[in-house]
Amino acid sequence: LNVPETKVSSLENGLRVASEDSGLSTCTVGLWIDAGSRYENEKNNGTAHFLEHMAFKGTKKRSQLDLELEIENMGAHLNAYTSREQTVYYAKAFSKDLPRAVEILADIIQNSTLGEAEIERERGVILREMQEVETNLQEVVFDYLHATAYQNTTLGRTILGPTENIKSINRNDLVEYITTHYKGPRIVLAAAGGVSHDELLDLANYHFGNLPSTQEGGMPALPPCKFTGSEIRIRDDKMPLAHIAIAVEAVGWSHPDTIPLMVANTLIGNWDRSFGGGVNLSSKLAQITCHGNLCHSFQSFNTCYTDTGLWGLYMVCEQSTVQDMMHFQFDLQIKFSGRRRDWKGYVIFCGVRCKLSKVCYFLSNFIYPPINCKQTQWHLVYIFREAH
């Protein structure tokens, strides 16, 4: 692919700076921080997500209204999200506004006021969000998937945390979390689009150079998370369809198997009844599913972490077709290890599709997320209605 070189530098305090300059008139810049539910314990689970909600509620320099107006007047977009291993704050803006975007991000993570009134307001917002998540069966299935695949480990915890934690988190908990995790070696400032690496490095030095590199007791360790091949079924006779996730253990995002398994993920693909297509569908599993009317939809997924991950299939089926759908899924994956000539052309085609997906990320200025997987033990999650 004809993509720009990725340049990486480090500050004296350990903060890393990465960029790709495509010469466009827009850019995306963000902070990737090693802070998520994997770094939390039973008592403070949900703090990272709570802190993300507080990010845009005002700083010592800007009120919430001032921040919103400044972003609007720039024609920019400011957002944040929390995963199990990372908290991310990012902005999309015109390239000429890169310095302002970086300054705003620095202000947010270093000078948020964390006012008591805002904390109570966001507490209610998060509790309502948790209720909404409970109605999203795909979210529920993937939470169960992590809870049973990584039993009794930090990866098994949810990102939002339990309700009792959300009700008890206070300002001191948020300040302590920032003090513990928002340190130079745990942060990456990354940008793509019309950005100069030298300019970005200078901005990083100016705005983040004073971040501490360590704290008392050393850096928080990444807890090991052992994968356990297992199965969990949650029965609800009121539900008309079965929502199923089946996954195998994957490798870390920097493992050499990452790219081949991205292609394998594309081999399986995704399908929905609204697609139609029949025998003309590119995915073999989609062809079988469409012809046999085996499910309402399916999608393959890669979920990667630092040292492990999950790769598999999420499907929505009627109870009577679950076994058939599972059979064809297993059969297709067994055939992956078959004769090379049977798959060569199809693998090349899927490799091209993987490249095209990366081009789409490149054209949108967004930082391409690493995705990976490696087969080991099987893990299944069912949420379904059984026939009587």
Residues in Cβ contact with 19 at an 8 Å cutoff, skipping those fewer than 6 apart: 6, 7, 190, 191, 192, 195, 196, 197, 200
243 and 167 co-located in one domain: no
175 and 285 co-located in one domain: no
Average pLDDT for residues 283-291, to the nearest whole number?
85
187 and 254 co-located in one domain: no
Predicted confidence (pLDDT) at residue 12 exceeds the cutoff of 90: yes
171 and 268 co-located in one domain: no
What is the C-alpha to C-alpha distance for residues 246 and 55, in angstroms, rounded to an integer? Answer: 35
* Per-residue model confidence as pLDDT tens digits over 243-271: 999 999 988 888 998 888 788 888 888 88
Q: Which residue has the higher pLDDT, 290 or 182?
A: 182
Average pLDDT for residues 101-116, to the nearest whole number?
97
199 and 246 co-located in one domain: no
Question: Which residue range is the domain that position 281 belongs to?
Answer: 231-384
- Is residue 193 assigned to a domain? yes
* Per-residue model confidence as pLDDT tens digits over 289-303: 888 889 999 999 988
65 and 174 co-located in one domain: yes
169 and 94 co-located in one domain: yes
Task: Write out the DSSP string of 187-200.
Answer: EEEEEEES--HHHH
Instruction: Provide the pLDDT for residue 338.
Output: 58
278 and 342 co-located in one domain: yes
200 and 156 co-located in one domain: yes
Predicted confidence (pLDDT) at residue 205 exceeds the cutoff of 80: yes
Domain count of the fold of the chain: 2
The model's confidence at residue 379, banded by pLDDT at 50, 70 and 90, is very low
* Per-residue model confidence as pLDDT tens digits over 148-159: 999 999 999 999
- Is residue 287 assigned to a domain? yes
* Per-residue model confidence as pLDDT tens digits over 329-362: 888 777 766 555 455 555 554 555 555 555 454 4
Catalytic residue selected from 20, 40, 52, 85 = 52
Burial of 172 (0-12, 13-18, 19+ CB in 10 A): exposed
Average pLDDT for residues 183-193, to the nearest whole number?
95
Q: Which residue has the higher pLDDT, 282 or 48?
A: 48
370 and 309 co-located in one domain: yes
Q: In the listed set 173, 193, 208, which residue is the last one of a domain according to the structure?
A: 208
pTM comes to: 0.84
Does residue 52 have an active-site annotation?
A: yes
- CA-angle at 104, arms to 96 and 210, nearest 5°: 110
